[in-house]
Structure 1
């Protein structure tokens, strides 16, 4: 139920690396689809670790279907990546950043996360396909 409410709350706010239209201080970015929830979560974790390397993050927490980053760049910036079920039996990654600072800074965070998430998700997809081909004798 929580996933459904969250999905409904962010519908229509999927312009890549653009501030959300409905609420102040929020940036919402569609990170794309991953074949499996585990792939999405691994890509989300890698993206938040990349954010830690580039900007500094006080704490990263991983839950069942979310990865959180707190106090990005030592300031009042927090982010969460959700991995929710999407179309075609895949899992959709969505980044939500809350920041009291300028939107320019939040967009920089979002670009870093988007690039890292997509790169990791693509690697995991290739590995999954290679394993599937090997198992099926292709």
Structure 2
């Protein structure tokens, strides 16, 4: 049963494309809906092409990875660390988080709150974890 739950929750969603803006994780969909704020988007189709400062996000690049730069007059959307999300949901702050099947091992990673559609807690390998689904 544990193996089955891992298979269900750990499956990466093939339609999710992640985007990084100022070291915060979002989705391409999020920035597509806010195009008036975007100065430029650089898409890296393969993880081998990522610049050094994006290598730490290599695990998110299965479907490519976008780097977004916002126009100067626009600030960043609200963001929070995964540690903070864990604490808010009564989970140990150092627990990994699943976002669309991608396992975020570093709970210090920040994500834009605009990407969140739903947050649930699940038991995986005997411990509670957060499972986040994104807006489509």
Common topology (TM > 0.5): no
Higher helix share: 1
Higher strand share: 2
TM-score, structure 1 length as denominator? 0.30
